[in-house]
Amino acid sequence: MKQLGSELKRRCYLKRQGIVPYAVAWEEQRSLLEDRLNNPERDDILIILQHPPVYTLGTGATEENLKFDPQASSIPLYRTERGGEVTYHCLGQLVGYPILNLRYYRCDLHWYLRQLETVLIRTLGEYGLSAEREAGLTGVWVKGVKVGAIGIKAKRWFTMHGFSLNVCPDLSGFSQIIPCGIRDRAVGSLQQFCPDITLSEVQQTLIRNFAEVFEVELYSDQ
């Protein structure tokens, strides 16, 4: 098992995908997970992308947190195998799907969730934003508004699904749900605090912090 802090870093393939429909990315994750269950020696993968507008529900999520009729909505809704309640993805939001073999890190899902939060917190810190965790909740907040969400799935210690960071999205889609089932917290974006921020620069910062927090060697074809 890889020890954190060791000189030998786990290799992780970085896959930048641009804009991908949710169903396409979801199927790819399932395929990559299945491949690694059958071939556990494969390198890890970090997929970074954006989704066109879409709502997703976690395994045990309730439709009571929807403010619209799913049968009449022009925006697709998917029930997935991740944890958590309903969330919204759209352009201007960076989404990361790490496909990791936690046996090389730590077989502890709570640790993994906190690591993902740390990636987002460090990223925001580089733009002068003091990001925080909220006791008993998963995600990242800045000045009381939630800017980062996390929902994961693990099978035999292989992960899928992941995190999202609101950089410069149109937040209106969140008004149609109770995001993550949290009624007393607003959803925000980095652009509210840093008006000149760009998606491309945040993506690079996020990728670098992911590599540092998980102590992996990222490589790609790009």
- Active centre residues (catalytic): 180
User: From the CB of residue 176, how many other CB atoms can be counted at a distance below 10 Å?
Assistant: 15
Angle at CA of residue 95, ends 27 and 218, nearest 5°: 90
Residue 208 CB burial class (10 angstroms; 0-12, 13-18, ≥19): middle
Q: How far is residue 138's CA from residue 4's CA, in Å, rounded to a whole number?
A: 23
Structural Rg of the chain based on CA atoms: 17
What tokens appear for 66 in the block?
A: 């929807």
Count, residues in the chain: 222
Q: How far is residue 61's CA from residue 142's CA, in Å, rounded to a whole number?
A: 25
Q: How far is residue 181's CA from residue 91's CA, in Å, rounded to a whole number?
A: 22
Tell me 203's DSSP state.
H
Angle at CA of residue 56, ends 17 and 33, nearest 5°: 55
